[in-house]
């Protein structure tokens, strides 16, 4: 197997990745964009599948129009796309291991830009593994890609802007939402009025989303969180409770709803698996409750010529992601000699100004929607934490009581984190369980040692990749 060499490779075709590719290509650099989806756009600008046609773009909202405007910028630029491709490994000298159409490929980049996006934060609680429970991101994907409502009677629970967006989208689509349980009070958001005004275009969208929910007569209950889900073979009931400032349920405030679907959304977690495999340094951010890469002012990681941008580095939304992408794309072109230092600085000036204008809004949102400690008290002894290996909270606590002191030791003793999701669902919840049991911090408990493949791929593809690597070494 030969290694294909490409000047600039962007992993991820959402707003961050596309913006990076556009700026680098405008400077004359050859760019390859890789994405596991069959169409560009990522989650925020997800397109309709082949066979669907748009009759009235107004009904699809501003997101659709913004996506189309971004796609229009791609026209005529030297950008190639490799879609439907899974990047499962990243090794020395910026070599990516890829599977596309069941075939293995190796691509080496002079400059590598990761724009891998984020995924919904897992929050283990009783009943969260029942059929009928899905994340708000999953509900949004079903709605956007198939224009289908994910259930008949829906309870939404969580916090953050994405929950509001999806509640609005579902309500407009005619979903029967019995209630939205929001952990943050409206007055806590409004206390940052100045920051909201500074980013009025985003705030205006939020006001419109909230109006759509109110107009649809959906109950908005705050501050409240989901405490348990019940059912035999699928979701039948869900219970919420009012909470205190630390998100601990207040006794006597529980309310149960008869539902068949529960959408849970407590924010997003950056997808840093490939950054780990690259050897980029990560730090635990307690407020974000996530491991994030160390980055320079141009969003370069500790690994030279490897950049991390957008929600795949720090969750801050599409507007921030796009501006980070533009700065990274210009920097990448400059590294390859396509721009002088002065030209690069000129091209980055506007994105830097826009990021500065968004900084206060971003700080406010991070403060308002940060996770509180009570969310980690929800798992009971029998609650499954690692869904892939069916490891319960009591198994994790028992491992600590038996002497395990790090996340890797708990992994070795219980198999938590060894399943197909590669610890995306259980790493942070397990870390909190271990840290609380030992009265230590998540940083002290550590993180799982990264192991390829970063995403599930066929054994056949891995075998071909191994054979190819041996041939290259010879």
Q: 199: pLDDT confidence band, cut at 50, 70 and 90?
A: confident
User: Does 470 score more than 50 pLDDT?
Assistant: no
Percent with pLDDT over 90 in the chain: 80
pTM: 0.92
Averaged pLDDT, 364-390: 95
Window from 111-125, 133-147, 225-239, 325-339 with minimum mean pLDDT? 133-147
Listing from the earlier edge strand, what are the strands of the sheet with 255-258? Answer: 224-230, 237-242, 255-258
Q: Rounded distance, CA 161 to CA 451, Å?
A: 32
Give the residues across from 442 on adjacent strands: none
Q: What is the pLDDT of residues 83-141, one digit of tens each?
A: 999 999 998 889 999 999 888 999 999 999 999 999 999 999 999 999 999 999 999 99
pLDDT of residue 367: 92
Question: What SS3 string covers 367-424?
Answer: HHCCCCHHHHHCCCCCCEEECCCCEEHHHHHHHHHCCCCCHHHHHHHHCCCCCCCCCC
User: Does 58 score more than 70 pLDDT?
Assistant: no
């Amino acid at each position: 197997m030969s290694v294909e060499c490409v000047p600039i490779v962007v992993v991820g075709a959402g707003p961050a990745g596309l913006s990076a590719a556009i700026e680098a290509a405008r400077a004359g650099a050859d760019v390859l964009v890789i994405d596991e989806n069959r169409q560009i756009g990522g989650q925020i600008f997800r397109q309709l599948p082949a066979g669907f046609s748009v009759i009235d773009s107004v009904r699809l909202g501003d997101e659709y129009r913004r996506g189309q405007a971004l796609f229009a910028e791609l026209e005529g630029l030297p950008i190639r796309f490799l879609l439907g491709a899974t990047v499962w490994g990243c090794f020395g000298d910026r070599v990516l291991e890829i599977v596309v159409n069941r075939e293995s490929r190796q691509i080496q980049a002079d400059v590598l830009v990761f724009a891998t996006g984020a995924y919904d934060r897992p929050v283990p609680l009783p009943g969260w593994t029942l059929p009928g429970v899905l994340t708000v991101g999953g509900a949004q994907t079903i709605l956007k890609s198939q224009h289908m409502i994910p259930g008949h009677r829906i309870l939404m629970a969580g916090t953050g802007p994405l929950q509001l967006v999806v509640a609005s989208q579902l309500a407009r689509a005619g979903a029967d939402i019995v209630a939205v349980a929001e952990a943050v009070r409206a007055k806590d958001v409004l206390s940052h009025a100045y920051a909201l005004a500074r980013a009025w275009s985003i705030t205006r969208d939020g006001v419109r989303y909230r109006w759509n929910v109110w107009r649809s007569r959906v109950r908005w209950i705050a501050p409240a969180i989901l405490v348990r889900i019940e059912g035999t073979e699928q979701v039948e009931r869900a219970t919420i409770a009012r909470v205190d400032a630390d998100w601990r349920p207040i006794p006597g405030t529980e309310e149960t709803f008869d539902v068949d679907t529960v959408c849970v959304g407590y924010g997003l977690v950056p997808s840093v698996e490939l950054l780990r495999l690259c050897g980029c340094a990560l730090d635990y951010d307690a407020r974000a409750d996530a491991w994030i890469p160390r980055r320079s002012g141009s969003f370069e990681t500790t690994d030279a010529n490897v950049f991390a941008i957008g929600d795949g580095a720090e969750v801050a939304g599409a507007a921030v992601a796009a501006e980070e992408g533009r700065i990274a794309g210009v920097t990448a072109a400059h590294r390859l000699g396509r721009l002088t230092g002065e030209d690069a600085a000129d091209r980055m000036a506007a994105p830097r100004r826009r990021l500065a204008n968004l900084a206060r809004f971003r700080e406010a949102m991070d403060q308002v929607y940060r996770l509180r400690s009570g969310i980690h008290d929800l798992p009971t002894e029998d609650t499954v934490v690692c869904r892939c290996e069916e490891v319960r909270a009591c198994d994790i606590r028992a491992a600590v009581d038996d002497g395990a002191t790090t996340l890797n030791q708990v992994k070795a003793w219980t198999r938590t984190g060894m399943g197909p999701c590669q610890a995306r669902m259980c790493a942070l919840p397990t870390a909190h369980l271990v840290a609380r049991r030992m009265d230590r911090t998540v940083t002290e408990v550590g993180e799982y040692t990264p192991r390829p493949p970063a995403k599930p791929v066929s054994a056949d593809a891995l075998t071909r990749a191994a054979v190819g690597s041996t041939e290259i070494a010879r």
